[in-house]
Amino acid sequence: MTRETLLLIFSILIGISPFVGLPLTVLSWILPILAFGIFAIAYQMRLRRKARRLLRESAALESVS
């Protein structure tokens, strides 16, 4: 599993933890906000990795032509 996938999974777990019956009062608002931040970071990392891969593939195709 990649780091991005783990961040996505952990962010979902953190996001749903206050809503599964755990007695969290203050953290019930903080945890979803943190989860969204983690999700945004993971999504940004994934987009950057895909962009780098596309750039490498296009450079390889140009060098072959």
How would residue 16 be classed by pLDDT, with cut points 50, 70 and 90?
confident
Q: pLDDT-derived band of residue 65, with 50, 70 and 90 as boundaries?
A: low
Q: What is the pLDDT of residue 62?
A: 80
For the chain, give every domain's residue range.
Answer: 3-64
More confident residue, 1 or 61: 61
Q: Is 14 exposed, middle or buried (0-12, 13-18, 19+ CB in 10 A)?
A: buried
**Integer Cα distance of 37 and 17 in angstroms:** 15
How many residues in total does the chain contain? 65
Specify the pLDDT at position 13.
79
Q: Which tens digit of pLDDT belongs to each residue from 19-61? A: 777 676 767 777 788 788 888 888 888 899 999 999 998 888 8
